[in-house]
């Protein structure tokens, strides 16, 4: 008996080239819709928090600290705060996406489809970078109402915004894969991401730091993100902008390779 | 015939219902214990998080101000900040430890276990709000103890400190309970936290003096109850107050009472918790 005479022939598998564009696009859109769906939490909340930080710091220190690095304190502070909001959100997007998928078990929906490790990495990290940049843009616009922000080097601003969001999105992906419970990832956020973003020169010039700590700060990639980003706005940097460009590129490359390797081998993803 | 049906015929009467007086102390105690144990079990999140964030706030303010700065005359910057930061963490912790269990129980359906138990609405409310307030107080104590390692702290008036801390903890615990009852989804809870608690906490004089505010803002801050809480706690620790302590205590107590009655009423009518 010929089954084909009774049933319509099954659909032929979709033919795709070197890149599964439709799959990649779907994964990316899923990651973006995930945070747009709750935009009060993912876009508005960072705006409120960042404006609050701006308010309390200028109110508390406005008179004691008039100028930092040759500019008004508020002008010095604003780019750092924008960067802080971007990195925290880029990290939150990828890490929460992976941890929730793992805990709820729908991670298989990510592993089953014909997506290569590169495509998976690109789709998830793309969502994180998009959230970082959107948050950065929203926060910067909101701040611009209060602080006369001016852009001195637009390309520096753009490069650092993308590089920093990418770096934290990759860290979030790696952290999310490593974490087995929500508690693990909240520990990474509390003990790694928040301290680094606070202590990396957002609120003060690292020239303030005592001897040894000044040297330590120069090894901190977060410092270069904030410093380079601020250089793009006010034209003044604490460190060397050229070194910053190279450091961010190198760290991103290394993290990308680690994330790619983790997904390719299925570390803590596949049974 | 199954063993279950046979059991009474063997002579063992079913257990009598437990007798209790006006208050179901055992039920209330169980809820209290549950709230406290939850806090201890999640200490990595509930205690360590506030500690780290307090130290970070302290560090960046002191570094940004470049040492020597004084916000209020005669009170060094770090000593001015610590009471405010500790109170902010106390309040946030009390809010979170009330709102989170209420909403979690609601969404997971466990609220049914509590509604079905022989607990009055008042006992249910106390079962959520009181452990949350205690959790907040614990967080505040841990943060103060940690700050004490780095900052020279002396208690100026222990009674004022303890009293203001207690009424503030209850205030935030009640706000958290109400937020948990009102929220239908986690997003709503996060909205209450981001758009109500954080602004109230940050714009309360935790990090600045009244003198540094523009005229209009100075009038507005009098409507922020957290301002009185910070002020009272700061007086208890440093002896420096910016407003009348009596007024502050009256505002906080009145607010506690009003929110308690509101939350009691909501539990009694089953607002968003009974079908």
Residues of chain B with pLDDT under 50: 1-6
A35: closest chain B residue by CA: B187
* Min Cα–Cα distance to chain A from B108, Å: 15
Please write the tens of the pLDDT for every residue from A112-129: 999 999 999 999 999 999
- pLDDT of A223 reads 94
- pLDDT of B1 reads 42
Ramachandran category for residue B48: left, alpha or beta (phi over 0 → left; psi -120 to 50 → alpha) = alpha
Angle among Cα A126, A128, A132 to the nearest 5 degrees reads: 115
Residue A160 and residue A128 in contact, taking contact as beta carbons nearer than 8 Å: no
Q: What DSSP letter does each residue of A225-237 carry, written as one string? A: HHHHHHHHHHS--
B201: closest chain A residue by CA: A52
- pLDDT of A70 reads 79
Q: Is A194 on the interface with B (CB under 8 A)?
A: yes
* Min Cα–Cα distance to chain B from A251, Å: 25
Residue B238 and residue B155 in contact, taking contact as beta carbons nearer than 8 Å: no
- A64 contacts in B (CB within 8 Å)? 65-66, 69
Q: Is A190 on the interface with B (CB under 8 A)?
A: yes
- A181 contacts in B (CB within 8 Å)? none
ipTM of the assembly? 0.85
- pLDDT of B2 reads 46
- Between CA A249 and CA A252 the distance in angstroms is 5
Asked whether the predicted pLDDT for residue A66 surpasses 80, the reply is: no
Mean of the pLDDT values across residues A77-90? 95
Query: How do A67-68 and A71-72 pair as beta strands?
Result: antiparallel
* Min Cα–Cα distance to chain B from A95, Å: 17
Q: Which of B232, B224, B235, B234 is nearest to B248 (CA)?
A: B232
Query: How do A67-68 and B75-76 pair as beta strands?
Result: unpaired
* Axis-axis angle for helices B25-41, B77-108 (nearest 10): 120
B55: closest chain A residue by CA: A195
Q: Enter the DSSP assignment of A193.
A: I
Considering only CB atoms, B44 lies closest to which of A41, A55, A183, namely A183
Q: What DSSP letter does each residue of chain B carry, written as one string? A: --HHHHGGGGT-PPPPPPP--SS-HHHHHHHHHHHHHHHHHTHHHHTHHHHHHHHHHHHHHHHHHTSS-EEETTEEHHHHHHHHHHHHHHHHHHHHHHHHHHHHHHHHTTHHHHHHSS--HHHHHHHHHHHHHHHHHHHHHHHHHHHHHHS----S-HHHHHHHHHHHHHHHHHHHHHHHHH-SSHHHHHHHIIIIIHHHHHTSSSSS-GGGS-HHHHHHHTT-HHHHHHHHHHHHHHS--SS-HHHHHHHHHHHHHHHHHHHHHHHHHTTTT--
B57 Cβ neighbours under 8 A, 6+ residues apart: B81, B85
- pLDDT of A16 reads 87
Asked whether the predicted pLDDT for residue A180 surpasses 90, the reply is: yes
Q: Is A265 on the interface with B (CB under 8 A)?
A: no
- Across the interface, whether the CB atoms of A203 and B60 are under 8 A apart is answered yes
Please write the tens of the pLDDT for every residue from A10-59: 888 888 889 999 999 999 999 999 999 999 999 999 999 999 999 998 88
What is the percentage of chain A residues whose pLDDT exceeds 70? Answer: 98
Residues of chain B contacting A, Cβ within 8 Å: 42, 44-45, 48-49, 52-53, 56, 59-61, 63-66, 69, 71, 187, 190-191, 194-195, 198-199, 202-203, 206-208, 212-213
Asked whether the predicted pLDDT for residue A182 surpasses 60, the reply is: yes
Q: Is A216 on the interface with B (CB under 8 A)?
A: no
Q: What pTM, to 2 d.p., does this model score?
A: 0.89
Considering only CB atoms, A61 lies closest to which of B45, B64, B187, namely B64
Strand partners, B82: none
Asked whether the predicted pLDDT for residue A174 surpasses 90, the reply is: yes
**Burial grade of B98 (CB within 10 A; 0-12, 13-18, 19 or more):** buried
- B194 contacts in A (CB within 8 Å)? 40-41, 44-45, 48-49
- pLDDT of A4 reads 53
Considering only CB atoms, A45 lies closest to which of B44, B59, B194, namely B194
Q: Is A57 on the interface with B (CB under 8 A)?
A: yes
Considering only CB atoms, A40 lies closest to which of B191, B207, B213, namely B191
- pLDDT of B9 reads 56
Q: How many Cβ pairs closer than 8 A exist between chain A and B? A: 99
Helix (H) or strand (E) holding A71: strand A71-72
């Amino acid at each position: 008996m010929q089954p084909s005479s009774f049933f319509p022939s099954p659909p032929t598998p979709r033919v795709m080239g070197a890149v599964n564009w439709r799959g990649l696009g779907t994964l990316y859109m899923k990651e973006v819709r995930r945070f747009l769906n709750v935009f009060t939490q993912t876009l508005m909340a960072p705006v409120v928090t960042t404006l609050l930080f701006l308010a309390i710091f200028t109110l508390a220190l406005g008179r004691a600290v008039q100028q930092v690095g040759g500019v008004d304190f508020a002008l010095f502070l604003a780019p750092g705060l924008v960067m802080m909001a971007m990195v925290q959100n880029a990290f939150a997007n990828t890490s929460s996406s992976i941890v929730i998928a793992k805990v709820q078990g729908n991670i298989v929906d990510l592993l089953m489809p014909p997506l290569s490790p590169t495509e998976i990495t690109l789709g998830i990290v793309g969502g994180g970078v998009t959230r970082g940049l959107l948050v950065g843009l929203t926060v910067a616009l909101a701040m611009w109402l209060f602080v006369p922000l001016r852009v001195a080097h637009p390309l520096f601003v753009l490069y650092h915004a993308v590089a920093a969001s990418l770096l934290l999105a990759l860290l979030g992906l790696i952290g999310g894969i490593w974490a087995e419970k929500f508690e693990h990832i909240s520990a990474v956020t509390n003990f790694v991401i928040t301290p680094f973003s606070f202590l990396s020169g957002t609120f003060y010039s690292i020239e303030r730091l005592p001897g040894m700590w000044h040297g330590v700060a120069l090894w901190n990639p977060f410092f270069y993100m904030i410093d380079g980003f601020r250089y793009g706005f006010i034209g003044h940097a604490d460190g060397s902008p050229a070194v910053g460009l190279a450091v961010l590129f190198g760290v991103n490359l290394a993290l990308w390779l680690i994330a790619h390797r983790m997904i390719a081998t299925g570390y803590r993803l596949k049974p | 015939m199954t063993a279950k049906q046979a059991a009474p015929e063997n002579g063992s009467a079913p257990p009598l219902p437990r007798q209790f007086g006006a208050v179901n102390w055992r039920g209330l105690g169980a809820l209290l214990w549950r709230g406290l144990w939850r806090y201890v079990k999640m200490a990595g999140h509930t205690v360590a998080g506030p500690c780290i964030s307090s130290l970070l706030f302290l560090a960046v303010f002191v570094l940004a101000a470049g040492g020597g700065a004084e916000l209020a005359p005669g009170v060094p910057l770090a000593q001015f900040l610590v009471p405010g930061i500790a109170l902010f963490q106390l309040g946030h912790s009390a809010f979170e430890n009330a709102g989170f269990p209420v909403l979690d129980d609601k969404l997971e359906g466990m609220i049914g276990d509590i509604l079905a138990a022989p607990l009055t609405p008042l006992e249910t409310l106390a079962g959520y709000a009181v452990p949350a307030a205690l959790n907040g107080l614990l967080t505040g104590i841990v943060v103060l103890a940690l700050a004490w390692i780095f900052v020279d702290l002396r208690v100026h008036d222990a009674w004022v400190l303890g009293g203001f801390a207690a009424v503030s903890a209850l205030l935030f615990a009640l706000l958290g309970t109400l937020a948990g009852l009102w929220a239908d989804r986690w997003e709503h809870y996060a909205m209450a936290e981001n758009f109500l608690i954080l602004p109230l906490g940050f714009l309360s004089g935790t990090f600045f003096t009244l003198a540094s505010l523009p005229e209009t803002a100075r009038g507005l801050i009098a409507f922020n109850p957290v301002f009185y809480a910070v002020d009272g706690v700061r007086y208890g620790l440093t002896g420096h107050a910016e407003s009348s302590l009596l007024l502050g205590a009256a505002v906080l107590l009145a607010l506690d009472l009003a929110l308690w009655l509101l939350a009691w009423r909501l539990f009694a009518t089953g607002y968003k918790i009974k079908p």
